[in-house]
Chains A and B, each alone.
Chain A
């Protein structure tokens, strides 16, 4: 037996088995697990770039103009938004943890369309590269904000068209993933795995996939029309030609609001997997959680106007959108209640996946509750376009979806890589990140209520203190991030070998080896009960 240098056991999916060798065996793989790893590397690389841009923004804001010019600042927040949204948080959980674990969780050998899965990843890389290219070519990085509102996005000489083309391609990557997951869940469940015996992460991926399918095309047409507007002057969003800029906002947000549910639903699914395991207790209210995922996807599709309350829409529509926005909070609240009830009287062991999940509940709840404040029409008129909004969406997208992603990474790390990470380092990182996160973003709630507008390069003196607190928070937070990723990366090679089921989980992925073999299971299991049987 030749001792292998890397950690992977013989028989794992890391072993080469197909036509290609080495790097090519990764770039041309159709194995969902390898594709998940490819996405993981890509997504985290873009995340790192986005974090750097965020740090630069915060650097400017402790002393505006000292390090960074106004024009550069506009591009910083634009590209930061485009990268973190389209290249990190929207794809993150579905393409990494979703791709890796969906087939395992339902007892399948792969997704329904493995080659389309690979195409999704190639399109992701292509779109990402085009976006990066747009930063360094043409008239300079886009400076419109990631929302690309007309008419400025039509008139600006910055490299908007190329960036939008990149976003267009990324949209197709997302659509193909959604299409693949819906078909996989319908067609490839193991014998005996009825719908209500599926793990709840799968339910969340299902709801997410439908949102990807039904919302992303609207973004595609919105950005396509904007590019046509810039290239051919068609006039749909140009008032001088009879167009209406608010229609662009409608098309843009018809996608971009459901997009936030693409971000959060999988994260909610991840923590729903984690809580029963670390409370040694079945999930409270399985059906309520399953249906609330669908309800969030459905209602989330109908609230986009709350991003446009001050744009000039009719009063009628603003009242309707505000009402539906309140309704969408209900299923989210149901989930939080069920998670707490799952933990209640459970036999709790606080490992890092649980710690990240608890942090998720705390941060997401703050985000969610402030979302209700934003959704209140009368209040929105006052806080729209201020730092209050910036704080809200960072709490939900980053504190929520982001920390859900980190929780999932820690929970499933042993399965994906066959190694354990250092538990103390993980908890330390979580703690430091929690402190840094709240300093970084809670100060923004205060700033927003005091009247500090968002996307502003500089500000009045009274806002200085909170900006300094926020920037220091960003440094503390990044220190925590570095510890967390340092721990995980170090553990890839040096971590203890992981057993098949380090956490005592009951879902199917824990019944196969860590890492799993190429075909996932020796034999496809026959399912006779639900996924969280802990007695």
Chain B
């Protein structure tokens, strides 16, 4: 399992490094979205609930781009067939894809969060950064798991670019609720405080449950 996982992960990351198809697009999309928010809201700086909402919506929509691309190469160039021919395990593929998406999200946030701090955020990021990273990490795990499951489901349908976000967004609403509520006290001007534990708990629980669901069901999406 570990060797399979290593090989699959290496393959995914190599493909991304050589083609640079997903991550640069996602990051650029996030930065552009901040600019769009600036004009759409007509604000020079945001804080609190509004800041948390903008950050999470942007990350979510940028993640959708990654989710849509995640399995395209496998579906179009025979990656699924090759995987089914190899003595591999569906769980390994799920884990490799989810970790790949997680890595994409981390790189995206390395670009997007400082850009957000620079362009839109009123309070400085400095003090709240470690806690914000923790909240983002919890949310990312959920986005990665759900994105992988939905991406695998949508990629072999006729309207995959449409179905991916349609399926994923309602499933990700609890992540947005948890993530935005947890990060909004970190981004306030007046008294930045830590996130309420119940939101972290919600995020963690949601990640865990959907991780188990994806693990149980992923094999059924592969066989043909």
Our verdict on whether A and B bind, yes or no, reads: no
List residues of chain A with CB under 8 Å of any chain B CB. Answer: none
